[in-house]
């Protein structure tokens, strides 16, 4: 097999990408480089590293070999040129936007997003002068109408949390391309196992690694993946990438680092200055989790479809929003974007409204009542009283989190046990 020019499959990449045996010790598992700093070979080497003229490690806020394994692995799985691991999914979004936007600029975002992202965009980002303009994924034309000379990016989720909305990535990518701005896709719910947004025109992919990539509910983390597809110099709209950086003696990042310059900019400008670095220990746990991503995502999706079918026939259930169901509004888009399955997350409308939601989360014994998704364990939450509580009623309903709605993240337990627990809870 030596030097065979085969292209490895997804399962192989999930296990191997980024993780060669440690060059100094031969350790086969990825070592946890639990250190803040790295000694330089000599003064000249230090100068080369600080000047970005050599590849290497300086300080864990900017890079760490354990985090680098995770970065390369996710980049490989997404089909990107490079990755940058950060402290959380929110930190990933912060660094991406800080690299693209100046105060007074705008970005267009789908209004069907994770409630935490809606908060971040409406509050923290507005306070930085980065102005979100909302568009409706059910009306693709609303993205085009939102474009202005100040637009610097478009942001969508591949599968929206929690409403089960599948966004027509290719259609939005075409609008972003026409506007000359990058398309950012949050691929947290789908993971690259179910959907690879770069294949459909995404220029940047972001993740909350906390969810299915880590997969075991033990570590918070975020990831930025550079698709390598965007020409940052063409319209001179992105000064972080196309203008000389005085802090690095005048180098132009796009000219110097080519098709992975966005990831480098996020690291050597954004992460360096803003500081939300990922702990190497978290990187180790998440990278280990990813080794079984293909197995887990298929089981999550298969279990979720069985649960959705069962719930759809239950007398106390008003509706089930899960794109895997043949009658679902997003079923056709699901066939195109997530053909292997629609992931673990669904929302359920209970005929008994708010009180029925409270009763269900109180009565279940296998499902855990908590504010997360993407654990091996089945999870349940009533978004109106928790994750989406800070939104207005109109925003709650818009985001698919009205008072009658319960969100489920189906785990990888036996599906009969999961269904039996819901049956108990609905009695």
Partner 1 sequence: MNHDSYPDSYIRGILNTVKTIAMVGFSPNTSRPSYFVFKYFLERGTRVIPVNPGHAGKEILGQKVYSRLADIPEPIDMVDIFRASEFVPGVVQEALALKPLPQVIWMQLEIRNDEAAAMAEAAGIKVVMNRCPKIEYGRLSSEISWMGINSRTLSSKRGQILPGGVQRMGLGNAGDKKSD
Q: Interface residues with partner 1 (CB under 8 A)?
A: 1-8, 12-13, 16-18, 20-24, 26, 38, 40-42, 44-45, 48-49, 51-57, 63, 65, 67-69, 71-72, 75-76, 79-85, 244, 248-252, 255-256, 258, 260, 263-264, 267
Task: Please check whether residue 160 is in contact with residue 337, taking contact to mean a CB–CB distance below 8 angstroms.
Answer: no
Can you tell me which residue has the tokens 């998440």? 286
Shortest CB 401 distance to partner 1, Å: 34
Nearer to partner 1, 252 or 358 (CB): 252
Burial of 235 (0-12, 13-18, 19+ CB in 10 A): exposed
Shortest CB 191 distance to partner 1, Å: 17
Shortest CB 17 distance to partner 1, Å: 6
Q: Quick check: helix, strand or coil at residue 106?
A: strand
Task: Please check whether residue 186 is in contact with residue 217, taking contact to mean a CB–CB distance below 8 angstroms.
Answer: no
Nearer to partner 1, 70 or 159 (CB): 70
Task: Please check whether residue 60 is in contact with residue 283, taking contact to mean a CB–CB distance below 8 angstroms.
Answer: no
Nearer to partner 1, 223 or 342 (CB): 223
Nearer to partner 1, 264 or 361 (CB): 264
Shortest CB 66 distance to partner 1, Å: 11
The Cα–Cα gap between 417 and 415 comes to 5
Q: Quick check: helix, strand or coil at residue 14?
A: helix
Nearer to partner 1, 129 or 258 (CB): 258
Task: Please check whether residue 393 is in contact with residue 333, taking contact to mean a CB–CB distance below 8 angstroms.
Answer: no
Nearer to partner 1, 55 or 104 (CB): 55
Segment (H or E) for 208 = strand 204-208
Task: Please check whether residue 235 is in contact with residue 181, taking contact to mean a CB–CB distance below 8 angstroms.
Answer: no
Crossing angle of helices 353-363/415-426, nearest 10°? 130
Tell me the C-alpha to C-alpha distance, in Å, between residue 321 and each of 22, 285, 401: 46, 32, 11
The Cα–Cα gap between 350 and 224 comes to 37
Shortest CB 93 distance to partner 1, Å: 18
Nearer to partner 1, 64 or 151 (CB): 64
Shortest CB 276 distance to partner 1, Å: 15
Nearer to partner 1, 258 or 339 (CB): 258
Shortest CB 219 distance to partner 1, Å: 18
Task: Please check whether residue 192 is in contact with residue 158, taking contact to mean a CB–CB distance below 8 angstroms.
Answer: no
Cα-based angle 105, 147, 245 (whole degrees, multiple of 5)? 35
Shortest CB 40 distance to partner 1, Å: 8
Can you tell me which residue has the tokens 């966004």? 167
Length of the chain: 427
Shortest CB 172 distance to partner 1, Å: 24
Nearer to partner 1, 11 or 142 (CB): 11
């Amino acid at each position: 097999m030596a030097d065979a020019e085969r292209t490895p499959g997804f399962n192989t990449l999930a296990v191997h990408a980024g993780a060669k045996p440690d060059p100094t010790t031969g350790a086969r598992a990825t070592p946890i480089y639990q250190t803040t700093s790295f000694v330089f070979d000599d003064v000249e080497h230090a100068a080369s590293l600080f000047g970005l003229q050599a590849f290497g490690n300086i300080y864990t806020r900017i890079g760490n070999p354990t985090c680098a394994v995770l970065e390369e692995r996710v980049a490989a799985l997404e089909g990107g040129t490079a990755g940058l691991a950060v402290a959380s999914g929110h930190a990933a979004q912060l660094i991406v936007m800080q690299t693209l936007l100046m105060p007074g600029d705008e970005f267009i975002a789908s209004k069907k997003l994770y409630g935490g992202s809606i908060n971040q965009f409406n509050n923290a980002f507005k306070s930085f002068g980065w102005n979100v303009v909302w568009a409706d994924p059910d009306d693709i034309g609303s993205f085009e109408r939102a474009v202005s000379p100040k637009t610097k990016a478009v942001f969508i989720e591949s599968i929206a949390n929690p409403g089960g909305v599948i966004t027509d990535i290719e259609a939005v990518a075409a609008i972003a391309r026409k506007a000359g701005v990058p398309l950012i896709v949050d691929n947290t719910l789908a993971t690259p196992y179910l959907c690879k947004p770069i294949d459909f025109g995404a220029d940047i992919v972001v993740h909350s690694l906390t969810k299915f990539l880590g997969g075991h509910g033990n570590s918070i983390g975020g990831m930025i993946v550079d698709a390598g597809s965007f020409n940052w110099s063409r319209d001179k709209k992105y000064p972080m990438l196309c203008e000389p950086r005085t802090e690095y003696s005048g180098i132009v990042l796009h000219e110097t680092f080519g098709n992975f310059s966005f990831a480098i900019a996020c690291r050597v400008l954004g992460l360096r200055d803003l500081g939300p670095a990922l702990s190497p220990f978290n990187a180790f746990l998440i990278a280990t989790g990813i080794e079984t991503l293909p197995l887990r995502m298929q089981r999550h999706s298969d279990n979720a479809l069985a649960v959705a079918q069962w719930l759809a026939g239950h007398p106390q259930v008003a509706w089930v929003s899960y794109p895997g169901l043949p009658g679902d509004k997003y079923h056709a888009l699901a066939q195109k974007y997530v053909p292997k399955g629609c992931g673990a997350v669904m929302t359920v409308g209970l005929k008994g409204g708010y009180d029925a939601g409270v009763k269900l989360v109180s009565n279940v014994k296998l499902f855990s009542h908590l504010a997360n998704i993407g654990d091996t364990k089945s999870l349940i939450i009533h978004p109106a009283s928790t994750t989406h509580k800070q939104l207005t009623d109109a925003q709650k309903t818009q985001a698919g989190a009205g008072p009658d709605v319960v969100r489920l993240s189906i785990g990888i337990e036996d599906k009969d046990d999961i269904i039996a627990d819901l049956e108990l809870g609905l009695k």
